[in-house]
Amino acid sequence: MCNMGGPTSDVLALLDATFDAVVIMDDRGRITAFNRSAEEMFGYRAADALGRNVNMLMTAMDRMVHDDHVKRYLAGGEPHILGKGRDVRVRHRDGSEFSVFLSVGRIPNSSPPQFVGYLHDSSLRHKALATLEQERQLNRLYLDLAQVMLVATNRAGAVQLVNQRALRVLKVDDSQIIDCNWVDCCVAPDDRGVARNAFRALLMSGSDEPQSCEYHVRSSDGEDRFITWRGVALRDANNVATGVMLSGEDITDQRRAESEAHRALERMNNVSRLATMGEMAAGISHELNQPLAAIANYAQACARLLRVPAPDMPEISGALEQISTQALRAGEIIRRIRSLVRNEDVRRESHDINELIREVHTLLASDARVHDGRLELDLAATLPKVTVDGVQIQQVLMNLVHNAFEAQGTDASRNELARGEVNGNAFEVRIATRPTDAGDVEVSVSDLGPGLAGEAEQKIFEPFFTTKPTGTGLGLAISRSIIKAHDARLGYRANQPRGACFYFVLPAHMEIPQ
């Protein structure tokens, strides 16, 4: 910095240390001081600038009027720029023009008056602002390009920022949502409690670990979308939570696909049940043909018997009775098949198996009385819950219990009982539950009847296999397909000391720890 009737050397040293360009001029507009930043800004060395008119740093337009401004001021007129700052265009030594922020002051007690101009390169500021703006737009772009919903709220829960994806899901403009309470405006009413708790938990948590939650948002047209959220608390410099940032993924379609897959699986189960029935179809026709053949034979026999002069009436009457019995038998087969093919939705719910059995016990008490027997319960005190269709499981139990009573109703069984070959209170059916080693639930129905001989044991689950004179052979097949639909197996084992035992093991319901 050079001095030319200008500031003292220590002031000049001070000026050289500032970032702003400093130019001092005298009352005739001549430069008296030109600091280092000014040298850099304008491309003149101080030695070249000193003594020259300051208007060499100005654009052509300013140059023409500057001297007049100075003269007018000195003549006691209005200051033009003095005391205020403004953006001006200035001229570099190479002729290029650029913007600076200029503030001018009169140096106190200077006589003749001297003026100091501070020039701040506002192009830098402009550049910085432009860069900032660019960055902001880039950030906006990042936000809007994101496949997830992004929402930031303040501490009170008012939305401060929301990206395009979120706006699309919610079907709103940002003007409709900015500064609105997030939970009240956007969350589905039923889920607001969940959302509020999650929001509070985020603000309270001292950790920066994202927290997850799931809830529905409701769009402006009333559609609910299921969103899985990850949230973090936003913090100020003092680590105080100032709001939350949420990123959400719309999993409505995914969930829908999952539940459709689940339904498809259920349908497939039904189909496989139907396929099993397809195998049965041949058997069904065979079994229906049995009573029909018998009816035809009896009827034709009756016709022949009636042709003779003295018909054997008792024989004919017996045959007619048989005809009605066989017709009813055919009807029963059809009824059973109908109950088998009824394609009802399986309603699986968490059940206490013992509760289901107690209900069956009430229903079957009369069945037990008819068979002059007793239905005993032997239920484990504590069992895990099972996820089953309660009604279907009860149907299976009723079928098994009914079979058990019928098995004991056979003549052979009655005789043995009469001879006291069976210990204790015979003629009873027992439903028992117990936990298996694997923690699942075994349900068994046992009787003290004749049990199953070797061959019957193998064929007992085949459709239309029956050991009963009036049986259709469908009861166990239906029971087995129901149990199979519950991912379990209906099994047979010999009961001790005698009789049959049918059992199935239901998987324990997994309790999700709270």
Partner 1 sequence: MKDLPQIVYVVDDDDAVRDSLRLLLKSAGLACEAFAGAREFLSAYDPSQPGSLVLDVRMPGMSGLEMQQELNLRGATIPVIFITGHGDIPMAVEAMQHGAFDFLQKPFRDQELLDRV
User: Which chain residues interact with partner 1 by CB under 8 A?
Assistant: 282, 285-287, 289-298, 300-302, 304-305, 315, 319, 322, 325-326, 329, 455, 459, 465, 469
Contacts of 257 (CB under 8 A, 6+ apart): none
Of 212 and 317, nearer to partner 1 (C-beta) is 317
What is the identity of the amino acid at 389? D
Name the strand (E) or helix (H) holding 214. Answer: strand 211-218
For the bound state, the minimum distance from the C-beta of residue 282 to partner 1, rounded and expressed in Å, comes to 6
Question: Is 126:137 a contact under the CB 8 Å cutoff?
Answer: no
Rounded Cα distance between 61 and 42, Å, is 18
Helix or strand (DSSP H, E) at 169 = helix 164-170
Which DSSP helix (H) or strand (E) runs through 150?
strand 149-154
Q: Residue 444: which residues within 8 A CB-CB, separation 6 or more?
A: 430, 431, 432, 433, 501, 502, 503
Pairing of strands 428-435, 374-378: parallel
φ/ψ region of 83 (left if φ > 0, alpha if ψ in -120 to 50, else beta) reads left
Identity of the amino acid at 420:
G
Rounded to 5 degrees, φ, ψ at 90 are: -130, 170
To partner 1, the closest distance from the beta carbon of 407 in angstroms equals: 17
CB of residue 477 to partner 1, shortest distance in Å: 15
For partner 1, give the closer residue by CB, 55 or 326: 326
Which CA distances in Å does 432 have to 154, 357, 403, 446?
A: 60, 9, 16, 8
What are the structure tokens assigned to 241, written together?
């939570």
Strands (E) in 275-338, as ranges, are none
Beta bridge partners of 159: 153
Q: Which two tokens stand for residue 419?
A: 């001879």
Spatial separation of the C-alpha atoms in residues 29 and 485, rounded to whole Å = 102
Cα gap 403→456, rounded to integer Å: 14
Beta bridge partners of 351: 386
